[in-house]
Amino acid sequence: MADMCRWYIADGYLPSFSTGQLESHESLCVLNTTEQAAMLHLTVYFEDRSPIMGFRFNCPAKRTVHVRLDAVENDDGESIPRGVPYAMEIESTVPVVVQHSRMDTSQKALALFTTMGFSQ
Amino acid sequence: MADMCRWYIADGYLPSFSTGQLESHESLCVLNTTEQAAMLHLTVYFEDRSPIMGFRFNCPAKRTVHVRLDAVENDDGESIPRGVPYAMEIESTVPVVVQHSRMDTSQKALALFTTMGFSQ
Amino acid sequence: MADMCRWYIADGYLPSFSTGQLESHESLCVLNTTEQAAMLHLTVYFEDRSPIMGFRFNCPAKRTVHVRLDAVENDDGESIPRGVPYAMEIESTVPVVVQHSRMDTSQKALALFTTMGFSQ
Amino acid sequence: MADMCRWYIADGYLPSFSTGQLESHESLCVLNTTEQAAMLHLTVYFEDRSPIMGFRFNCPAKRTVHVRLDAVENDDGESIPRGVPYAMEIESTVPVVVQHSRMDTSQKALALFTTMGFSQ
Protein backbone atom coordinates (compact mmCIF):
# COMPACT_ATOMS: atom_id res chain seq x y z
CA MET A 1 0.00 0.00 0.00
CA ALA A 2 1.30 3.40 -0.98
CA ASP A 3 2.44 5.29 2.10
CA MET A 4 1.78 8.59 0.34
CA CYS A 5 4.86 10.11 2.04
CA ARG A 6 7.31 9.31 -0.78
CA TRP A 7 6.63 9.88 -4.46
CA TYR A 8 8.60 9.43 -7.66
CA ILE A 9 8.45 11.06 -11.10
CA ALA A 10 10.80 9.63 -13.74
CA ASP A 11 10.18 11.97 -16.70
CA GLY A 12 11.18 15.52 -15.83
CA TYR A 13 12.20 17.95 -18.57
CA LEU A 14 11.91 21.73 -18.78
CA PRO A 15 11.75 22.61 -22.50
CA SER A 16 14.20 25.33 -23.54
CA PHE A 17 11.86 27.08 -25.94
CA SER A 18 8.44 28.69 -25.81
CA THR A 19 6.08 30.22 -28.36
CA GLY A 20 3.07 32.50 -27.87
CA GLN A 21 1.99 33.84 -24.47
CA LEU A 22 2.53 30.67 -22.46
CA GLU A 23 5.95 29.68 -21.19
CA SER A 24 6.99 26.03 -21.33
CA HIS A 25 7.05 24.76 -17.76
CA GLU A 26 6.37 21.90 -15.37
CA SER A 27 4.35 21.86 -12.18
CA LEU A 28 4.49 19.59 -9.17
CA CYS A 29 1.00 19.54 -7.69
CA VAL A 30 0.56 18.47 -4.07
CA LEU A 31 -2.72 17.89 -2.24
CA ASN A 32 -2.71 17.73 1.54
CA THR A 33 -6.13 16.75 2.91
CA THR A 34 -4.82 16.13 6.43
CA GLU A 35 -5.09 18.45 9.47
CA GLN A 36 -1.28 18.92 9.63
CA ALA A 37 1.02 21.03 7.48
CA ALA A 38 3.28 18.98 5.19
CA MET A 39 6.98 19.77 4.87
CA LEU A 40 8.23 18.52 1.51
CA HIS A 41 11.74 17.78 0.36
CA LEU A 42 12.48 17.38 -3.33
CA THR A 43 15.55 15.54 -4.64
CA VAL A 44 16.38 16.03 -8.32
CA TYR A 45 18.18 13.20 -10.17
CA PHE A 46 20.19 13.57 -13.38
CA GLU A 47 21.72 11.33 -16.04
CA ASP A 48 25.34 12.32 -15.54
CA ARG A 49 25.83 14.02 -12.19
CA SER A 50 24.98 13.55 -8.53
CA PRO A 51 21.45 14.37 -7.38
CA ILE A 52 20.72 17.86 -6.08
CA MET A 53 18.96 17.97 -2.73
CA GLY A 54 17.67 20.72 -0.52
CA PHE A 55 14.63 21.89 -2.48
CA ARG A 56 12.08 22.51 0.28
CA PHE A 57 8.50 23.72 0.30
CA ASN A 58 5.38 23.43 2.43
CA CYS A 59 1.79 22.47 1.79
CA PRO A 60 -0.44 23.70 4.62
CA ALA A 61 -3.20 21.53 6.10
CA LYS A 62 -6.27 21.31 3.84
CA ARG A 63 -4.50 23.05 0.97
CA THR A 64 -2.95 22.31 -2.42
CA VAL A 65 0.25 23.79 -3.81
CA HIS A 66 1.17 23.80 -7.50
CA VAL A 67 4.93 24.37 -7.55
CA ARG A 68 6.50 25.74 -10.76
CA LEU A 69 9.58 23.56 -11.25
CA ASP A 70 11.27 26.17 -13.45
CA ALA A 71 11.23 28.52 -10.44
CA VAL A 72 12.34 26.37 -7.49
CA GLU A 73 15.64 27.09 -5.77
CA ASN A 74 17.38 24.96 -3.19
CA ASP A 75 19.27 25.85 0.03
CA ASP A 76 22.41 26.54 -2.03
CA GLY A 77 20.64 28.71 -4.59
CA GLU A 78 20.67 25.99 -7.28
CA SER A 79 17.75 25.54 -9.67
CA ILE A 80 16.70 22.88 -12.21
CA PRO A 81 18.33 23.56 -15.58
CA ARG A 82 16.24 23.75 -18.77
CA GLY A 83 16.89 21.34 -21.62
CA VAL A 84 18.18 18.52 -19.41
CA PRO A 85 16.45 15.20 -18.59
CA TYR A 86 15.85 14.77 -14.87
CA ALA A 87 13.71 12.84 -12.37
CA MET A 88 12.35 13.52 -8.90
CA GLU A 89 11.83 12.00 -5.49
CA ILE A 90 9.46 13.83 -3.16
CA GLU A 91 9.38 13.15 0.56
CA SER A 92 6.63 14.53 2.77
CA THR A 93 6.24 14.61 6.55
CA VAL A 94 2.54 13.72 6.19
CA PRO A 95 0.60 11.70 3.59
CA VAL A 96 -0.10 13.73 0.45
CA VAL A 97 -0.96 13.12 -3.20
CA VAL A 98 1.60 14.21 -5.83
CA GLN A 99 0.93 14.78 -9.53
CA HIS A 100 3.29 16.12 -12.20
CA SER A 101 2.38 18.04 -15.36
CA ARG A 102 4.25 19.59 -18.26
CA MET A 103 3.24 22.37 -20.62
CA ASP A 104 5.34 22.45 -23.75
CA THR A 105 4.94 25.38 -26.13
CA SER A 106 8.25 24.89 -27.93
CA GLN A 107 6.42 24.48 -31.24
CA LYS A 108 3.34 26.57 -32.13
CA ALA A 109 0.26 25.89 -30.03
CA LEU A 110 0.87 23.98 -26.85
CA ALA A 111 1.04 20.46 -25.53
CA LEU A 112 0.25 19.14 -22.09
CA PHE A 113 0.84 15.95 -20.20
CA THR A 114 0.25 14.77 -16.66
CA THR A 115 0.66 11.71 -14.49
CA MET A 116 0.12 10.77 -10.90
CA GLY A 117 3.37 10.18 -9.15
CA PHE A 118 4.32 6.63 -8.21
CA SER A 119 4.10 5.87 -4.51
CA GLN A 120 4.65 2.65 -2.64
CA MET B 1 -5.83 -1.90 -1.79
CA ALA B 2 -7.74 1.02 -3.19
CA ASP B 3 -11.21 1.22 -1.62
CA MET B 4 -12.50 3.00 -4.73
CA CYS B 5 -14.76 5.17 -2.52
CA ARG B 6 -12.29 8.04 -2.11
CA TRP B 7 -10.27 9.58 -4.93
CA TYR B 8 -7.80 12.42 -5.23
CA ILE B 9 -6.73 14.70 -8.09
CA ALA B 10 -3.91 17.13 -7.33
CA ASP B 11 -3.68 19.12 -10.60
CA GLY B 12 -6.91 21.00 -11.23
CA TYR B 13 -6.90 24.18 -13.35
CA LEU B 14 -9.58 25.71 -15.57
CA PRO B 15 -7.76 27.77 -18.21
CA SER B 16 -9.09 31.32 -18.56
CA PHE B 17 -8.79 31.47 -22.34
CA SER B 18 -10.10 29.51 -25.32
CA THR B 19 -9.55 29.62 -29.06
CA GLY B 20 -11.57 28.10 -31.89
CA GLN B 21 -14.83 26.22 -31.37
CA LEU B 22 -13.81 24.27 -28.28
CA GLU B 23 -13.91 25.82 -24.81
CA SER B 24 -11.10 25.08 -22.37
CA HIS B 25 -12.53 22.83 -19.67
CA GLU B 26 -11.97 19.91 -17.34
CA SER B 27 -14.08 16.80 -16.82
CA LEU B 28 -14.37 14.46 -13.89
CA CYS B 29 -15.32 11.08 -15.30
CA VAL B 30 -16.94 8.51 -13.00
CA LEU B 31 -17.72 4.89 -13.80
CA ASN B 32 -20.13 2.98 -11.58
CA THR B 33 -20.30 -0.71 -12.53
CA THR B 34 -22.19 -1.70 -9.36
CA GLU B 35 -25.93 -2.37 -9.01
CA GLN B 36 -26.39 0.64 -6.68
CA ALA B 37 -26.53 4.35 -7.45
CA ALA B 38 -23.48 6.29 -6.23
CA MET B 39 -23.86 9.59 -4.41
CA LEU B 40 -20.70 11.64 -4.85
CA HIS B 41 -19.38 14.53 -2.84
CA LEU B 42 -16.62 16.70 -4.25
CA THR B 43 -14.38 18.89 -2.07
CA VAL B 44 -12.30 21.51 -3.85
CA TYR B 45 -8.95 22.55 -2.30
CA PHE B 46 -7.07 25.78 -2.99
CA GLU B 47 -3.64 27.28 -2.35
CA ASP B 48 -4.72 30.22 -0.22
CA ARG B 49 -8.22 29.69 1.13
CA SER B 50 -10.29 27.06 2.88
CA PRO B 51 -11.67 24.18 0.83
CA ILE B 52 -15.14 24.50 -0.69
CA MET B 53 -17.45 21.59 0.01
CA GLY B 54 -20.97 20.74 -0.96
CA PHE B 55 -20.55 19.89 -4.64
CA ARG B 56 -22.84 16.87 -5.06
CA PHE B 57 -23.76 14.68 -7.97
CA ASN B 58 -24.98 11.16 -8.67
CA CYS B 59 -23.82 8.33 -10.88
CA PRO B 60 -26.63 5.79 -11.36
CA ALA B 61 -25.99 2.03 -11.23
CA LYS B 62 -24.33 0.71 -14.41
CA ARG B 63 -23.71 4.21 -15.75
CA THR B 64 -20.92 6.71 -16.29
CA VAL B 65 -21.09 10.47 -15.72
CA HIS B 66 -18.64 12.95 -17.23
CA VAL B 67 -19.02 16.09 -15.09
CA ARG B 68 -17.91 19.43 -16.56
CA LEU B 69 -15.96 21.06 -13.73
CA ASP B 70 -16.44 24.55 -15.18
CA ALA B 71 -20.19 24.08 -14.70
CA VAL B 72 -20.56 22.54 -11.23
CA GLU B 73 -22.25 24.53 -8.47
CA ASN B 74 -22.35 23.66 -4.79
CA ASP B 75 -25.15 23.90 -2.19
CA ASP B 76 -24.31 27.59 -1.65
CA GLY B 77 -24.23 28.44 -5.36
CA GLU B 78 -20.41 28.59 -5.49
CA SER B 79 -18.47 27.35 -8.52
CA ILE B 80 -14.81 26.62 -9.29
CA PRO B 81 -13.07 29.82 -10.49
CA ARG B 82 -11.09 29.84 -13.75
CA GLY B 83 -7.38 30.67 -13.73
CA VAL B 84 -6.76 29.36 -10.21
CA PRO B 85 -4.83 26.19 -9.20
CA TYR B 86 -6.98 23.74 -7.27
CA ALA B 87 -7.21 20.08 -6.27
CA MET B 88 -10.03 17.65 -5.54
CA GLU B 89 -11.17 14.94 -3.19
CA ILE B 90 -14.08 12.80 -4.34
CA GLU B 91 -16.05 10.63 -1.93
CA SER B 92 -18.55 8.07 -3.18
CA THR B 93 -21.11 5.96 -1.34
CA VAL B 94 -20.23 2.95 -3.50
CA PRO B 95 -16.99 1.87 -5.22
CA VAL B 96 -16.41 3.75 -8.48
CA VAL B 97 -13.53 4.62 -10.80
CA VAL B 98 -12.59 8.30 -11.17
CA GLN B 99 -10.55 9.85 -13.99
CA HIS B 100 -9.78 13.52 -14.63
CA SER B 101 -9.11 15.19 -17.98
CA ARG B 102 -8.35 18.70 -19.18
CA MET B 103 -8.86 20.29 -22.58
CA ASP B 104 -6.80 23.45 -23.01
CA THR B 105 -7.42 25.58 -26.10
CA SER B 106 -5.84 28.74 -24.72
CA GLN B 107 -3.33 28.79 -27.56
CA LYS B 108 -4.31 27.83 -31.13
CA ALA B 109 -5.19 24.17 -31.60
CA LEU B 110 -5.88 22.24 -28.46
CA ALA B 111 -4.13 20.19 -25.82
CA LEU B 112 -5.44 17.33 -23.72
CA PHE B 113 -4.31 15.48 -20.67
CA THR B 114 -5.80 12.80 -18.47
CA THR B 115 -4.95 10.72 -15.41
CA MET B 116 -6.62 8.15 -13.28
CA GLY B 117 -7.34 9.52 -9.85
CA PHE B 118 -5.34 8.23 -6.92
CA SER B 119 -7.23 5.93 -4.58
CA GLN B 120 -6.11 4.03 -1.53
CA MET C 1 -3.26 -6.34 -5.59
CA ALA C 2 -4.50 -5.83 -9.10
CA ASP C 3 -5.70 -9.10 -10.60
CA MET C 4 -4.95 -7.80 -14.10
CA CYS C 5 -8.04 -9.63 -15.41
CA ARG C 6 -10.46 -6.72 -15.00
CA TRP C 7 -9.75 -3.14 -16.05
CA TYR C 8 -11.67 0.12 -16.06
CA ILE C 9 -11.46 3.30 -18.12
CA ALA C 10 -13.78 6.14 -17.09
CA ASP C 11 -13.08 8.76 -19.78
CA GLY C 12 -14.06 7.45 -23.18
CA TYR C 13 -15.03 9.87 -25.98
CA LEU C 14 -14.69 9.57 -29.74
CA PRO C 15 -14.46 13.14 -31.10
CA SER C 16 -16.88 13.85 -33.97
CA PHE C 17 -14.48 15.97 -35.98
CA SER C 18 -11.03 15.59 -37.53
CA THR C 19 -8.62 17.87 -39.34
CA GLY C 20 -5.61 17.06 -41.48
CA GLN C 21 -4.56 13.51 -42.36
CA LEU C 22 -5.15 11.93 -38.97
CA GLU C 23 -8.61 10.84 -37.86
CA SER C 24 -9.69 11.47 -34.28
CA HIS C 25 -9.82 8.10 -32.55
CA GLU C 26 -9.19 6.10 -29.40
CA SER C 27 -7.22 2.90 -28.92
CA LEU C 28 -7.42 0.23 -26.27
CA CYS C 29 -3.95 -1.27 -25.98
CA VAL C 30 -3.56 -4.72 -24.44
CA LEU C 31 -0.33 -6.50 -23.59
CA ASN C 32 -0.38 -10.24 -22.95
CA THR C 33 3.01 -11.50 -21.74
CA THR C 34 1.64 -14.90 -20.69
CA GLU C 35 1.91 -18.21 -22.58
CA GLN C 36 -1.88 -18.38 -23.07
CA ALA C 37 -4.15 -16.51 -25.47
CA ALA C 38 -6.40 -13.94 -23.76
CA MET C 39 -10.09 -13.69 -24.65
CA LEU C 40 -11.30 -10.18 -23.87
CA HIS C 41 -14.82 -8.90 -23.33
CA LEU C 42 -15.50 -5.18 -23.42
CA THR C 43 -18.59 -3.61 -21.82
CA VAL C 44 -19.37 -0.02 -22.80
CA TYR C 45 -21.17 2.22 -20.25
CA PHE C 46 -23.12 5.39 -21.05
CA GLU C 47 -24.66 8.32 -19.21
CA ASP C 48 -28.27 7.75 -20.19
CA ARG C 49 -28.78 4.20 -21.43
CA SER C 50 -27.98 0.62 -20.47
CA PRO C 51 -24.47 -0.67 -21.08
CA ILE C 52 -23.69 -2.42 -24.36
CA MET C 53 -22.00 -5.77 -24.02
CA GLY C 54 -20.69 -8.34 -26.43
CA PHE C 55 -17.62 -6.59 -27.81
CA ARG C 56 -15.10 -9.43 -28.03
CA PHE C 57 -11.51 -9.66 -29.17
CA ASN C 58 -8.41 -11.76 -28.58
CA CYS C 59 -4.84 -11.05 -27.65
CA PRO C 60 -2.63 -14.05 -28.48
CA ALA C 61 0.10 -15.26 -26.09
CA LYS C 62 3.19 -13.02 -26.14
CA ARG C 63 1.47 -10.38 -28.27
CA THR C 64 -0.04 -6.92 -27.99
CA VAL C 65 -3.22 -5.69 -29.68
CA HIS C 66 -4.06 -2.02 -30.18
CA VAL C 67 -7.82 -1.99 -30.81
CA ARG C 68 -9.35 1.03 -32.60
CA LEU C 69 -12.45 1.83 -30.54
CA ASP C 70 -14.08 3.70 -33.42
CA ALA C 71 -14.05 0.41 -35.36
CA VAL C 72 -15.21 -2.23 -32.87
CA GLU C 73 -18.53 -3.98 -33.41
CA ASN C 74 -20.34 -6.25 -30.97
CA ASP C 75 -22.25 -9.52 -31.45
CA ASP C 76 -25.36 -7.55 -32.45
CA GLY C 77 -23.53 -5.32 -34.92
CA GLU C 78 -23.56 -2.30 -32.58
CA SER C 79 -20.61 0.12 -32.41
CA ILE C 80 -19.56 2.96 -30.08
CA PRO C 81 -21.14 6.23 -31.24
CA ARG C 82 -19.00 9.35 -31.82
CA GLY C 83 -19.62 12.51 -29.79
CA VAL C 84 -20.99 10.68 -26.74
CA PRO C 85 -19.32 10.28 -23.31
CA TYR C 86 -18.75 6.66 -22.39
CA ALA C 87 -16.68 4.39 -20.12
CA MET C 88 -15.35 0.85 -20.32
CA GLU C 89 -14.90 -2.35 -18.36
CA ILE C 90 -12.53 -4.91 -19.83
CA GLU C 91 -12.50 -8.52 -18.67
CA SER C 92 -9.77 -10.92 -19.71
CA THR C 93 -9.42 -14.68 -19.29
CA VAL C 94 -5.72 -14.27 -18.41
CA PRO C 95 -3.77 -11.43 -16.73
CA VAL C 96 -3.01 -8.60 -19.15
CA VAL C 97 -2.12 -4.91 -19.02
CA VAL C 98 -4.63 -2.41 -20.46
CA GLN C 99 -3.91 1.17 -21.50
CA HIS C 100 -6.22 3.67 -23.22
CA SER C 101 -5.24 6.54 -25.52
CA ARG C 102 -7.07 9.24 -27.47
CA MET C 103 -5.99 11.18 -30.52
CA ASP C 104 -8.05 14.34 -31.01
CA THR C 105 -7.59 16.29 -34.24
CA SER C 106 -10.86 18.19 -34.01
CA GLN C 107 -9.01 21.50 -34.02
CA LYS C 108 -5.90 22.07 -36.18
CA ALA C 109 -2.85 20.05 -35.18
CA LEU C 110 -3.52 17.13 -32.89
CA ALA C 111 -3.75 16.28 -29.23
CA LEU C 112 -3.02 13.04 -27.45
CA PHE C 113 -3.66 11.61 -24.04
CA THR C 114 -3.13 8.23 -22.43
CA THR C 115 -3.61 6.49 -19.11
CA MET C 116 -3.12 3.06 -17.69
CA GLY C 117 -6.41 1.45 -16.92
CA PHE C 118 -7.40 0.97 -13.29
CA SER C 119 -7.22 -2.60 -12.04
CA GLN C 120 -7.82 -4.05 -8.62
CA MET D 1 2.56 -4.41 -3.88
CA ALA D 2 4.53 -3.44 -6.92
CA ASP D 3 7.97 -5.01 -6.87
CA MET D 4 9.33 -2.20 -9.04
CA CYS D 5 11.59 -4.70 -10.86
CA ARG D 6 9.14 -5.46 -13.69
CA TRP D 7 7.19 -2.85 -15.60
CA TYR D 8 4.74 -2.88 -18.51
CA ILE D 9 3.74 -0.34 -21.14
CA ALA D 10 0.92 -1.37 -23.51
CA ASP D 11 0.77 1.60 -25.90
CA GLY D 12 4.02 1.96 -27.80
CA TYR D 13 4.06 3.65 -31.22
CA LEU D 14 6.79 5.60 -32.99
CA PRO D 15 5.04 7.99 -35.40
CA SER D 16 6.42 7.86 -38.96
CA PHE D 17 6.16 11.58 -39.60
CA SER D 18 7.48 14.78 -38.04
CA THR D 19 6.99 18.49 -38.64
CA GLY D 20 9.02 21.46 -37.46
CA GLN D 21 12.26 21.14 -35.49
CA LEU D 22 11.19 18.35 -33.17
CA GLU D 23 11.26 14.71 -34.25
CA SER D 24 8.40 12.43 -33.25
CA HIS D 25 9.76 10.03 -30.65
CA GLU D 26 9.16 8.09 -27.45
CA SER D 27 11.22 7.97 -24.28
CA LEU D 28 11.45 5.36 -21.57
CA CYS D 29 12.37 7.19 -18.38
CA VAL D 30 13.92 5.23 -15.52
CA LEU D 31 14.69 6.50 -12.02
CA ASN D 32 17.04 4.51 -9.81
CA THR D 33 17.18 5.95 -6.28
CA THR D 34 19.02 2.93 -4.86
CA GLU D 35 22.74 2.60 -4.09
CA GLN D 36 23.22 -0.10 -6.75
CA ALA D 37 23.42 0.17 -10.53
CA ALA D 38 20.35 -1.25 -12.34
CA MET D 39 20.76 -3.48 -15.37
CA LEU D 40 17.62 -3.28 -17.49
CA HIS D 41 16.31 -5.64 -20.12
CA LEU D 42 13.59 -4.50 -22.50
CA THR D 43 11.35 -6.93 -24.41
CA VAL D 44 9.32 -5.50 -27.28
CA TYR D 45 5.96 -7.13 -28.15
CA PHE D 46 4.14 -6.84 -31.47
CA GLU D 47 0.70 -7.63 -32.91
CA ASP D 48 1.77 -10.14 -35.52
CA ARG D 49 5.26 -11.46 -34.78
CA SER D 50 7.29 -12.87 -31.92
CA PRO D 51 8.68 -10.47 -29.32
CA ILE D 52 12.16 -9.04 -29.79
CA MET D 53 14.44 -9.40 -26.78
CA GLY D 54 17.96 -8.35 -26.01
CA PHE D 55 17.55 -4.59 -25.66
CA ARG D 56 19.82 -3.79 -22.70
CA PHE D 57 20.75 -0.61 -20.89
CA ASN D 58 21.93 0.52 -17.48
CA CYS D 59 20.78 3.09 -14.97
CA PRO D 60 23.56 3.87 -12.49
CA ALA D 61 22.88 4.23 -8.74
CA LYS D 62 21.24 7.57 -7.88
CA ARG D 63 20.70 8.45 -11.52
CA THR D 64 17.93 8.68 -14.10
CA VAL D 65 18.14 7.64 -17.76
CA HIS D 66 15.74 8.82 -20.44
CA VAL D 67 16.12 6.30 -23.27
CA ARG D 68 15.07 7.33 -26.80
CA LEU D 69 13.10 4.33 -28.06
CA ASP D 70 13.63 5.32 -31.70
CA ALA D 71 17.38 4.84 -31.13
CA VAL D 72 17.69 1.60 -29.15
CA GLU D 73 19.35 -1.41 -30.73
CA ASN D 74 19.40 -4.95 -29.38
CA ASP D 75 22.17 -7.59 -29.25
CA ASP D 76 21.37 -8.59 -32.86
CA GLY D 77 21.34 -5.05 -34.18
CA GLU D 78 17.54 -4.88 -34.40
CA SER D 79 15.62 -1.69 -33.58
CA ILE D 80 11.95 -0.79 -33.01
CA PRO D 81 10.27 0.00 -36.35
CA ARG D 82 8.34 3.26 -36.85
CA GLY D 83 4.64 3.16 -37.71
CA VAL D 84 3.95 -0.15 -35.96
CA PRO D 85 1.97 -0.73 -32.72
CA TYR D 86 4.06 -2.33 -30.01
CA ALA D 87 4.25 -2.84 -26.23
CA MET D 88 7.03 -3.28 -23.69
CA GLU D 89 8.10 -5.28 -20.68
CA ILE D 90 11.01 -3.89 -18.68
CA GLU D 91 12.93 -6.00 -16.18
CA SER D 92 15.41 -4.47 -13.76
CA THR D 93 17.94 -6.04 -11.41
CA VAL D 94 17.04 -3.49 -8.71
CA PRO D 95 13.80 -1.60 -7.91
CA VAL D 96 13.30 1.38 -10.22
CA VAL D 97 10.45 3.60 -11.42
CA VAL D 98 9.55 3.49 -15.13
CA GLN D 99 7.57 6.10 -17.05
CA HIS D 100 6.85 6.28 -20.79
CA SER D 101 6.23 9.39 -22.91
CA ARG D 102 5.53 10.12 -26.55
CA MET D 103 6.09 13.27 -28.56
CA ASP D 104 4.10 13.34 -31.78
CA THR D 105 4.78 16.11 -34.28
CA SER D 106 3.22 14.34 -37.24
CA GLN D 107 0.74 17.18 -37.70
CA LYS D 108 1.77 20.83 -37.19
CA ALA D 109 2.61 21.79 -33.62
CA LEU D 110 3.23 18.89 -31.30
CA ALA D 111 1.41 16.57 -28.94
CA LEU D 112 2.67 14.84 -25.83
CA PHE D 113 1.49 12.07 -23.58
CA THR D 114 2.92 10.22 -20.62
CA THR D 115 2.01 7.48 -18.18
CA MET D 116 3.65 5.66 -15.34
CA GLY D 117 4.33 2.08 -16.23
CA PHE D 118 2.26 -0.64 -14.60
CA SER D 119 4.10 -2.68 -11.98
CA GLN D 120 2.92 -5.45 -9.72
pLDDT tens column, A24-75: 889 999 999 999 999 999 999 999 999 999 999 999 999 999 999 999 999 9
Q: Give A107's DSSP letter.
A: S
pLDDT of residue A105 exceeding 90: no
- What's the whole-number mean pLDDT along residues B85-106? 91
> What pLDDT is stored for residue B37 in this prediction?
98
Can you tell me the distance from the alpha carbon of C90 to that of C68, in angstroms, rounded to the nearest whole number? 14
Name chain A's partners: 3 or more CB pairs within 8 A.
Answer: B, C, D
Which strand ranges, in their side-by-side order, compose the sheet holding D6-12?
Answer: D52-59, D38-46, D86-92, D6-12, D118-119
Q: What pLDDT, on a 0 to 100 scale, did the predictor assign at position D120? A: 60
Contacts of A8 in chain D (CB under 8 A): 31, 33, 97
The pLDDT value recorded for residue D33 is 97
Question: How high is the ipTM of this complex?
Answer: 0.92
C9 touches chain D (CB under 8 A): no
Contact D3, D120 (CB under 8 A): yes
From chain D, the residues in CB contact with A43 under 8 A are: 33
- Taking the CA of residue D110 and the nearest CA in chain A, the distance in Å comes to 6
* Of B119, B115, B118, residue with least CA distance to B99: B115
d(CA B18, CA A27): 21
pLDDT at B9 over 90: yes
> HSE on the CB side for B48, CA within 13 Å?
2
Asked if A109 is an interface residue toward chain C (Cβ–Cβ < 8 A), one would say: yes
pLDDT of residue B13: 92
C-alpha dist (Å) from residue B42 to A104, B57, B64, D31: 30, 8, 16, 34
pLDDT for B50 equals: 97
pLDDT of residue D52: 97
Residues of A in contact with B104 (CB under 8 A): 110, 112
Q: Which residue has the higher pLDDT, A1 or C114?
A: C114
> Which CATH code fits A5-119?
2.60.290.11
8 Å CB contact of D86 and C64: yes
Q: Does D2 touch chain B (CB under 8 A)?
A: no
Residues of chain B with Cβ-Cβ distance to A101 below 8 Å are: 11, 113
Q: Helices (H) and strands (E) in chain B — how many of each?
A: 0, 9
Among A6-20, B79-93, D34-48, which is the least confidently predicted range? A6-20
Shortest CB distance from C85 goes to which of B22, B64, B114?
Answer: B64
Q: Is it the case that residue D107 has pLDDT exceeding 60? A: yes
pLDDT at C109 over 70: no
Q: Do B10 and A21 touch (CB under 8 A)?
A: no
Query: D64, A48: Cβ pair inside 8 Å?
Result: no
pLDDT at res. B41: 97
Tell me what percent of the residues of chain B surpass a pLDDT of 90: 70
Number of other residues whose CB lies within 10 A of the CB of residue A81? 13
Give the contacts of C21 (CB within 8 A, at least 6 positions apart): D107
- Chain C neighbours (≥3 Cβ pairs under 8 A) are A, B, D
Q: In chain C, what are the domain boundaries?
A: 5-119
Q: Is the pLDDT of residue D61 over 60?
A: yes
Across the interface, of D2, D31, D115, the residue whose CB is closest to A120 is D2
Identify the band that residue C65 occupies on the pLDDT scale cut at 50, 70 and 90: very high
**pLDDT above 70 covers what percent of chain C?**
91
pLDDT, residue C61, reads: 98
Strand partners, A115: A100
Per-residue pLDDT, C13: 93
Which pLDDT score is estimated for C32? 97
pLDDT (tens digit, 9 = 90+) per residue, B38-61?
999 999 999 999 999 999 999 999
List residues bridging with D59 in a β-sheet.
Answer: D38
